[in-house]
Amino acid sequence: MTSNSEKLSDIERMLSMLEPEQIAELMGNIPVQNRAYMIDYSARIRRMAISDLYFKSAICPHQVGSFEEYKEHDEGIRQQAMSCVDIEDKL
């Protein structure tokens, strides 16, 4: 374990001798993959598309004759949104 701590202290000693501009120049020369810092938002986009589809298709209870009819229609819309029938158009 002393060999690791000796290596770290050597690195710290070398870095302490460098100016900030020199450190920035060294860091600029390190190759970084362009996609290394990409965040995958596909799950969030899919959830938002499902919610958007549901709320665009949902009706209000006062727009139908009875509450049972509203519940049936609402369940149908929910099932359609969950099966993502129309989601492919939005993505």
Q: Which token pair is 31?
A: 């190759």
Residue 15's contacts (CB-CB under 8 Å, 6 or more residues apart) are 23
CA distance 89 to 91: 6
Number of independent structural domains in the chain: 2
Question: What is the pLDDT tens value at each position of the chain, 91 positions in all?
Answer: 456 667 888 888 888 888 888 888 888 877 776 666 677 888 888 888 888 888 888 888 888 888 888 888 888 888 887 786 555 554 4
Question: Is the domain of 31 the same as that of 56?
Answer: no
CA distance 47 to 91: 11
Question: Is the domain of 51 the same as that of 85?
Answer: yes
Instruction: Give the distance between the most distant pair of CA atoms in the chain.
Output: 81
Structural element, H or E, at residue 50: helix 42-57
Range of the domain at 20: 2-35
- pTM of the full structure: 0.44
Q: At 46, which amino acid appears?
A: R
